[in-house]
């Protein structure tokens, strides 16, 4: 599958031959127009839109069981609760 090859290639380019070092951050950004941007330090790479890849990666972040960022889940739950409360009071 070409999308998987693009994703793997992007990771190899952004992470580089030395891999991730202590303190480095690998970030993913979902674009409103579709596609992803992955970034580390001052390097970034745009990946063409592919819904299955985007959905699977997002699932890793927001799935309460598999999440790599429990803080993100807490933030989402708080935000959803705050929005729901504000809509009820209108």
Averaged pLDDT score across all residues of the chain: 84
The confidence band for 86, taking pLDDT boundaries of 50, 70 and 90, is: low
The confidence band for 90, taking pLDDT boundaries of 50, 70 and 90, is: low
Give just the sign of the alpha carbon dihedral 9, 13, 18, 20.
Answer: negative
- pLDDT for residue 84 is more than 70: no
Return d(Cα 71, Cα 10) in angstroms, integer: 26
- pLDDT for residue 17 is more than 80: yes
Whether residue 59 contacts residue 66, with contact meaning beta carbons closer than 8 Å, is answered with: yes
Whether residue 70 contacts residue 39, with contact meaning beta carbons closer than 8 Å, is answered with: no
Q: What phi, psi does 47 have (nearest 5°)?
A: -110, 140
Q: What phi, psi does 48 have (nearest 5°)?
A: -65, 155
**Per-residue pLDDT at 89:** 64
**Per-residue pLDDT at 68:** 76
- Convert the pLDDT of each residue in 40-75 to its tens digit: 999 999 999 999 888 888 888 777 777 777 777 787
**Per-residue pLDDT at 59:** 82
Return d(Cα 86, Cα 38) in angstroms, integer: 34
């Amino acid at each position: 599958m070409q999308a998987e090859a693009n994703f793997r290639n992007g990771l190899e380019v952004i992470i580089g031959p030395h891999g991730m070092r202590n303190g480095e951050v690998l970030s993913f950004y979902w674009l409103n127009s579709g596609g992803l941007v992955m970034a580390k330090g001052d390097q970034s790479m745009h990946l063409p839109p592919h819904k299955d890849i985007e959905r699977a990666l997002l699932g890793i972040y927001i799935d309460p069981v598999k999440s790599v960022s429990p803080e993100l889940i807490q933030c989402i739950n708080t935000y959803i609760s705050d929005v729901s409360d504000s809509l009820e009071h209108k």
